[in-house]
Amino acid sequence: MLFTITGANGFIGCALVKHLVSLGHTVRGTVRDVAKDGEHIAALGAEVVECKSLTDVEALAAAFKGVDGVFHMAAVHPEYGFAETPEGRAGILATAVEGTVAVLKAAKQAEIKRVVLTSSLAAIECGNDTGTLNETMWSKADVYDSEEKLTNTRWATHYTYVKSKVEQERAAIDFAKDNGLDLRIVVPGNLCIGPIASRQINGTMTRIKDIMQGKNTLVGAADLAIVHVQDVVEAHTKCMTLDSASGRYIVASDMTTTEDLLAALRQMYPNLPVAEQGKMDIASGVPGAARKIESRAVSELGMQLTPYQQTLKASVDSMISHKVIAISSAA
């Protein structure tokens, strides 16, 4: 089968390209800049198509022509650290919604029936700080739109990102319903990590790198849903290829407290300067508690998710082997 992946140069996108090609599928990957990302995507086995703007419906429709389905992964994500972004709140929100609707319009124009959208647990967990998370839940607007949180905390860009994922999903669901598109949504855990392909790493993997070098950059999270990138890739593949799939699928096991995450890394790597927890500034969850997750990916897609300790080890070992994390001769 032939599939198009938007944002094929992302961490999950690259892993999905490689997986689909290994299964014998043909993949077309869109990127904003072929000169920057084209060679790497082509090396993974995909045909590379440049789409400079995520709102260019005609260019997207051309990239979708003749394919059996579209994976929409391209998205705006704040830079590592959730600092203020050049786009600002309005720009992030507009790009998330308008870009997604443009992709769906292009899919309709190209007569594509099935689209798999990549979302984030950010669309579910914000404001739902206790109990069990599931696919029927949404992050709470009274939290991510709170003027106090947007002006008096350091997490304004984080809350903007949360809002962008909620509005992206809802816009996609409404468009698909009105236009007869078969939309499935993958909701990865909020710490999607795993083996890397080169020394170039994304913001999420940079957080793990920092922890292994003594700096805790997870100070806003009481707990995290840690998921292996290959589990996320498997969920995307099942959502695309199984006629029975429908709706949203969280791809994550129960969440893990930041304390347990750091303790697991210290136990696995006693000779490395794993960060202490230090002073926290919790924006999500309840200190010392970990939320449960009920996942349709497990109950309905039959997935067996990788334990978080194994996921952490695969990630760190990979960064060590690529010399992203340095090992001193005395370690």
Query: Is-contact 128 60, C-beta < 8 A?
Result: no
Q: How far is it, in rounded angstroms, from Cα 151 to Cα 149?
A: 6
CB of 156 closer than 8 Å to CB of 173:
no
> What local confidence, expressed as pLDDT, does residue 98 receive?
93
Burial per residue of 65-91, b for 16 or more beta-carbon CB atoms within 10 angstroms, e otherwise: eebebbbbbbbbbbeeebeebeeebee
* pLDDT value of position 88: 73
Do residues 291 and 137 make contact, with C-beta atoms less than 8 angstroms apart? no
- Structure pTM? 0.94
Question: Which residue did the predictor score with more confidence, 39 or 142?
Answer: 142
C-alpha 13/C-alpha 74 separation (Å) is 9
**What's the distance, CA 94 to chain centroid?**
19
Indicate if the pLDDT at residue 180 is higher than 60. Answer: yes
Q: Are 102 and 179 in contact (CB under 8 A)?
A: no
Whose tokens are 């809802």? That residue is 170
DSSP 111: T
> What would the mean pLDDT of 108-127 be, rounded to a whole number?
97
User: For all residues of the chain together, what is the average pLDDT?
Assistant: 93
Give the residue from 171, 292, 269, 273 showing the smallest Cα distance to 223: 292
Q: Is the pLDDT of residue 188 over 50?
A: yes
Cα–Cα distance, 273 to 28 (Å, whole number): 42
Across the range 146-174, mean pLDDT stands at 94
Whole-angstrom distance, CA of residue 235 vs CA of residue 178:
25
Paired tokens of 199: 């020394």
Structure confidence at residue 199 (pLDDT): 74
Residues in the chain: 331
Percent of the chain with pLDDT over 90: 83
Cα-based distances in Å from 78 to 23, 81, 282, 285, 327: 33, 8, 19, 21, 30
- Give the phi and the psi of residue 257 in degrees, each rounded to 5: -70, 155
284: which DSSP letter? B
* Alpha-carbon torsion (202, 204, 210, 215), positive or negative: positive
Per-residue pLDDT band for 329 (boundaries 50, 70, 90) equals: low
